[in-house]
């Protein structure tokens, strides 16, 4: 172990609880990834607003899950991971990590602005209770607007900013002795694949699916390091 006066020891001692929570958050995120993939394979999400409304009427929970309910939780725990990464790497390159943290947090905020799962649930209820076809057409139009927001600018901003955050963080990791070179390389690979939003047609879908593997490996390695830092700090 390094002497107590080194920056590494100082980080470990002062922020062990944050690293512990960051590690737990990483495990939760890995679990959410597995659950979300399983749900999408077993129950592929609808493509049209009427199909979403039908799904919501059959199962409000499955409807919300099809509109990324789990990612609302996912991005909440991601905040803890970003904060822990910042505290672990700020001594290596403080300005770069501050930029990365801000970009990541702004991206997360943009995601919450993009998700319209509960709006769609409410509209599906209005649609089911509509007295005539004219009213149903109004709610279908509102649903189209919500679906456009769900796959629109705010989501793309979230996706790209988080990819940039990951690239910056992984680059700083290459200069840090707290994380292995393998961790940084997996992070760079995931960041590159996240450079194209999943909404960008076929190529976006391919890149988003391909990014899952390096992101999962990167996250697992980071979680392991967080727990080590928390243990040393305690």
Total-model pTM: 0.87
Q: How far apart are CA 187 and CA 8, in angstroms?
A: 21
Least confident segment among 78-92, 128-142, 163-177 = 128-142
CA 126 to CA 140: how far, in whole Å? Answer: 10
DSSP 198: T
In this predicted structure, what is the pLDDT of residue 230? 87
Q: What is the token pair recorded at 204?
A: 């976006």
Q: What letter would DSSP give residue 6?
A: S
Round to whole Å and give the CA distance between 89 and 216: 20
pLDDT digits (tens, 9 = 90+) for 28-82: 999 999 999 999 999 999 989 999 999 999 999 999 999 999 999 999 999 999 9
| pLDDT value of position 105 | 96
How sure is the predictor about 198, in pLDDT bands with cuts at 50, 70 and 90?
confident
Give tens-digit pLDDT for 84-120. 999 999 999 999 999 999 999 999 999 999 999 999 9
What pLDDT is stored for residue 231 in this prediction?
A: 85
Percentage of residues in the chain having pLDDT higher than 90? 77
Own/partner pairs, 148-154, CB within 8 angstroms, 24+ separation = 149/114, 149/116, 150/67, 150/114, 150/115, 150/116, 150/117, 150/120, 151/199, 152/114, 152/199, 153/114, 154/110, 154/111, 154/113, 154/114
- Segment 206-229 shows an average pLDDT of 93
Residue 4 has pLDDT above 50, yes or no: no
Q: Helix (H) and strand (E) counts for the chain?
A: 11, 0
Handedness of CA 120, 158, 112, 222 (dihedral sign): positive
Quote the percentage of the chain above a pLDDT of 70. Answer: 93
Residue 230 · residue 23 · CB < 8 Å = yes
What whole-number distance in Å separates Cα of residue 32 and Cα of residue 93? 31
Q: Determine whether 180 is exposed, middle or buried from the number of CB atoms within 10 Å of its CB (0-12, 13-18, 19+).
A: middle
Residue 140 neighbours by CB distance under 10 Å: 17
Mean of the per-residue pLDDT values of the chain: 90
pLDDT at position 8, please?
A: 52
d(CA 161, CA 99): 11
Phi, psi (5° rounding) for residue 115?
-80, 125
Write the CB contacts of 70 (distance below 8 Å, at least 6 apart in sequence): 32, 35, 36, 39
Check if the beta carbon of residue 169 is closer than 8 Å to that of residue 132. no
């Amino acid at each position: 172990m390094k002497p107590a006066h080194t920056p590494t020891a100082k980080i470990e001692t002062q922020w062990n609880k944050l690293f512990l929570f960051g590690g737990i958050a990483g495990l939760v995120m890995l679990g959410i990834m597995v659950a979300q993939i399983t749900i999408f394979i077993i129950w592929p999400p609808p493509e049209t607003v009427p199909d979403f409304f039908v799904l919501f009427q059959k199962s409000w929970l499955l409807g919300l899950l099809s509109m990324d309910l789990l990612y609302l939780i996912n991005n909440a725990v991601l905040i803890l991971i970003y904060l822990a990464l910042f505290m672990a790497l700020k001594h290596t390159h403080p300005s770069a990590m501050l930029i990365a943290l801000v970009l990541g947090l702004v991206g997360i905020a943009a995601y919450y602005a993009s998700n319209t799962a509960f709006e769609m649930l409410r509209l599906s209820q209005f649609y089911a209770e509509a007295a005539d076809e004219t009213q149903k057409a109004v709610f279908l139009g509102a649903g189209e607007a919500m679906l456009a927001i769900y796959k629109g600018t705010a989501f793309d901003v979230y996706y790209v900013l988080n990819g940039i955050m990951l690239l910056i963080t992984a680059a700083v990791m290459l200069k840090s002795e707290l994380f292995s070179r393998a961790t940084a390389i997996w992070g760079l690979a995931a960041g590159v694949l996240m450079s194209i939003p999943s909404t960008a047609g076929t190529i976006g879908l391919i890149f988003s699916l391909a990014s899952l593997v390096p992101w999962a490996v990167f996250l697992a390695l980071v979680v392991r390091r967080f727990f080590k830092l928390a243990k040393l700090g305690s």
